[in-house]
Amino acid sequence: MVNSLSQRQVLDAIDTEWLGQNCTYYPVVQSTNVILREMADRGEPAGTLVIADYQHKGKGRLGRRWLAPYGTSLLFSLLFRPDWPAEQANWLMMISALSCIRAISTTTGVITGIKWPNDIGLEKHGYWSKLGGILLEGNLTGDRFSLAVIGIGLNTNIVEQQLPKGYTPATSLLVETGKPVPRIGLLKEIVKNLERLYTQAESGHSPYKEWKELLVGLNKTVKVSDPYNNRIVEGFAEGTDPTGRLLVRESNGKLHHFSAGDVSLRS
Ligand code: BTN
């Protein structure tokens, strides 16, 4: 049986003040991020939510595709108009990850972490398994971070055989818990957490400390693929800085500050 969401279900579930109140559900879209970006350009307000059961051109980070069979995942995007200093742009990524991790724990009991920069997942038998990801697409106006579309994809009810066979091993909440997860309850929790954390960030509270506590893979030797310079850097992941950059020191002592990339443990 195909399990679809509906506009009514989403509207009834969201119990926030503003985040997600202006919402549109689509059974099928190209990408919720793309649709929401178009809506933002037409003047839709901060807090607008677009959610779909299927994306035929779902976008992942670094130009990758995001794949999920119909009705098996949480696929949604939220619009923010922050007017924050540019160096705080990653706060949105941090509070989104925190919201997902807390909501997953409350709704399913599954404890997850963050693999820099924004993978949500868990370590299984010593290997990282990805449960979801966050795609932040934003605009700067001068030196202000003025518009952001946050896209969240979480593998909720994908059966093992249908998990994406991508660059990193994947898992789903169904696989982890052995039972289907009500997507709408999870959405409700994520949006509620995110509204609260966004309000705190608006008043200047940095989410950095809480975000950092959930990072996995620090204080280890890693390989980072650097998309801007088309190279791989191997070194010791010393930590992160308050803007969310990853600090990796090569054996020759050189310290790199990564603002994007993929991390893998040294083989
Ligand atoms: C990543 O590469 O880890 C980020 C994946 C983000 C996927 C979500 S699914 C909903 C939203 N719409 C998109 O096209 N992408 C994001």
pLDDT of 191-205, one tens digit each? 999 999 999 999 999
HEC sequence for 199-252: HHHHCCCCCHHHHHHCEECCCCEEEEEECCCCEEEEEEEEEECCCCCEEEECCC
Strand order across the 262-265 sheet: 255-258, 246-249, 231-240, 221-226, 262-265
pLDDT of residue 146: 92
Same domain, 223 and 109: no
pLDDT of residue 267: 46
Same domain, 118 and 243: no
Instruction: For residues 1 and 122, give the distance between their C-alpha atoms in angstroms, rounded to a whole number.
Output: 29
Is there a domain that residue 2 lies in? no
Same domain, 48 and 171: yes
Same domain, 124 and 254: no
CATH number of the domain within which 245 lies: 2.30.30.100
Same domain, 180 and 69: yes
pLDDT, tens digit, 9 for 90 and up, residues 4-19: 999 999 999 999 999 9
Are the CB atoms for 265 and 221 separated by under 8 Å? Answer: yes
pLDDT of residue 238: 95
Is there a domain that residue 110 lies in? yes
CA of 221 to the centre of ligand 1 (A): 28
Nearest C-alpha neighbor of 224 from the set 213, 240, 211: 240
Q: Which H or E element spans position 144?
A: strand 144-155
Q: Is 88 in the pocket of ligand 1 (CB under 6 A)?
A: no
pLDDT, tens digit, 9 for 90 and up, residues 156-181: 999 999 998 877 889 999 999 999 99
Same domain, 249 and 121: no
Same domain, 121 and 250: no
Same domain, 243 and 191: no
Give the global pTM: 0.95
Nearest C-alpha neighbor of 15 from the set 183, 191, 186, 149: 191
Same domain, 110 and 186: yes
3-class SS at 135? strand
CA of 252 to the centre of ligand 1 (A): 36
Nearest C-alpha neighbor of 257 from the set 265, 267, 247, 249: 247
**Ligand 1: which of 30, 57, 66, 167 to mutate, most ligand atoms within 8 Å of CB?**
66
pLDDT of residue 247: 95
Is there a domain that residue 133 lies in? yes
Are the CB atoms for 153 and 54 separated by under 8 Å? Answer: no
Averaged pLDDT, 97-110: 98
Same domain, 258 and 157: no
Q: Is 51 in the pocket of ligand 1 (CB under 6 A)?
A: no
Averaged pLDDT, 136-146: 90
Angle between helices 89-108 and 183-202 (to 10 degrees): 140
3-class SS at 192? helix
Is there a domain that residue 1 lies in? no
Same domain, 184 and 53: yes
**Ligand 1: which of 26, 75, 136 to mutate, most ligand atoms within 8 Å of CB?**
75
Q: Is 134 in the pocket of ligand 1 (CB under 6 A)?
A: yes
Same domain, 68 and 190: yes
pLDDT, tens digit, 9 for 90 and up, residues 22-38: 999 999 999 999 999 99
Are the CB atoms for 64 and 91 separated by under 8 Å? Answer: no
pLDDT of residue 96: 98
Q: Which atom of ligand 1 is nearest to the CA of 66?
A: 7
Instruction: Work out the number of other CB atoms within 10 angstroms of the CB of residue 243.
Output: 16
Nearest C-alpha neighbor of 36 from the set 186, 138, 184, 140: 138
Number of domains making up the chain: 2
The first and second tokens of residue 211, run together, are 């975000």
86-125: b (≥16 Cβ within 10 Å) or e: eebbbbbbbbbbbbbbbbbeebbeeebbbbbbbbbbbeee
Cis amide linkage into residue 117, ω under 30° from 0: yes
Cα–Cα–Cα angle for 147, 43, 93, rounded to 5 degrees? 25
Is there a domain that residue 225 lies in? yes
What residue numbers bound the domain in which 207 lies?
7-213
C-alpha distances in Å from residue 122, one per residue of 42, 71, 119, 224: 38, 23, 9, 19
